[in-house]
Amino acid sequence: MEPTTEIKVAEILTAQELLSKRFLEIRNRTEEICFPLKTEDYPVQPVTDVSPPKWHLAHTTWFFETFALKNFAKGYQEFDETFGFHFNSYYDNVGERVLRSNRGSMSRPETSKIYEYRNYVNEKLIELLQARQVSPQLFEVIELGLQHEMQHQELLLTDIKYILGHQPFFPLYDEGSSIDRQPASVDFSWIKIESGLKQIGFESDGFFFDNEKGSHQVFLEQFSIASRPVVFGEFIEFIEAGGYKDFNLWHSDAWEFINRNEITAPLYLHNVRGQWHRYTMSGLRVVNKNDILVHVSYYEAAAFAQWKGLRLPTEFEWEVASEEFNWGHCWEWTNSAYLPYPRFSKAPGALGEYNGKFMINQMVLRGASSATTPGHSRNTYRNFFHPHLQWQFAGIRLAK
């Protein structure tokens, strides 16, 4: 029995070492994303949907402190007892918090203090991993925290782009960045999918979010789906043909929204003296018409599809067809409302608020984008946003 015991101990230590290494790698990547920023960029919040970079740095740290250290590290001493109020996002079970729209009004705690906070929590969590065997419960919380931080890494890039892209003279984030300059890799063609019962949802080993759980069957009619997403040149044709002026193409709510907000193009797309430019993470550039379209809302995606005499795929059609095409350059709007799968249930307590409470008034996006953290994508992943939002790296794949 002794050799078996030794092997098990070695396996446990290896697993803990690997988890510690992965934890630090993911935490460091968040700070690497912020490296090109100036100190003055960190507290900026131009609109409610955009969170300040320093808030992202602190909130992802608060998540580990609140759900891992305070619950599993005996005698843990909080870094600052006021940080829960400052950096809770939407967890009502945890307590009160700063309103989302007011995150940019906090000059304190200062950015340097946020980095101290991150270092403190990192050290305490590594100490926790080294001091004890990782229980299944602790492992699940840390894994959820890492997946949560990877989500925020993409949000951080998205928000940084909005912060810089709405300043005069379009300051660049990183001159060498190609995050949002992805040319289409294949010619356009139609992929035919036969009708029948199809299996939907996550059913493999590895991590998944609760909204992916509940593998189930759906019946799909025969359909065809585009081999690639829409590119900028195609959408510019829609603009120049008067697409934003034809109410027949738009949902009622969409028509009211684009007119009230004077929206006449995707976010960051500008006509400069008769030539189309767009703001990218590497500055303002002349549009490459073969680049994959990004920064359109569901409203715009649906109107474009209507103009083409086509439609958006449902999220089930997208998932079934995804084995037949390359994806991951942009999040792709589907024609599916964000709703629970059969047998979906929320976990008890604060972590049950992660996804379930948002299953209303939002549309599903599938895939991933060039800003998505490597390793944080799968074809069952269900992203979701309100239909009017443009600031995500979201595009269009057509169906018929």
Domain map (residue ranges) of the chain = 2-165, 190-395
* pLDDT tier, 6 (very low <50, low <70, confident <90, very high otherwise): very low
- From the centroid of its chain, how far is CA 172? 22
Structure tokens at 39: 């100190």
Q: What is the tens place of the pLDDT at every residue in 110-144? A: 999 999 999 999 999 999 998 867 888 999 999 99
Distance from C-alpha of 276 to C-alpha of 266, rounded to nearest angstrom = 12
Distance from C-alpha of 373 to C-alpha of 395, rounded to nearest angstrom = 18
Q: What is the tens place of the pLDDT at every residue in 349-389? A: 777 777 888 899 999 999 999 999 999 999 999 999 999 99
pLDDT at 4: 35
Query: Considering the chain, what is the average pLDDT of its residues?
Result: 93
pLDDT at 9: 46
CATH 3.30.700 fits 2-165, yes or no: no
- Range in 56-65, 92-101, 251-260 the model is least confident about: 92-101
Q: What is the tens place of the pLDDT at every residue in 8-41? A: 445 555 678 889 999 999 999 999 999 999 999 9
Q: Which range in 93-102, 181-190, 288-297 is most confidently predicted, on average pLDDT?
A: 288-297
Topology, domain 190-395: paralog of FGE (formylglycine-generating enzyme) (3.90.1580)
Q: What is the tens place of the pLDDT at every residue in 163-214? A: 999 999 999 999 989 899 999 989 999 999 999 999 999 988 889 999 998 8
pLDDT at 310: 98
* pLDDT tier, 93 (very low <50, low <70, confident <90, very high otherwise): confident
pLDDT at 335: 98
Q: What is the tens place of the pLDDT at every residue in 221-234? A: 999 999 999 999 99
Q: What is the mean pLDDT of residues 262-284?
A: 97
Distance from C-alpha of 137 to C-alpha of 350, rounded to nearest angstrom = 15
| Size of the chain, expressed as the number of residues it contains | 400
Q: Which residues contact 179 (CB under 8 A, 6 or more apart)?
A: 157, 280, 281, 370, 371, 393
**32-37: long-range pairs with CB below 8 Å, 24+:** 33/153, 33/156, 33/157, 33/160, 34/156, 36/173, 36/174, 37/160
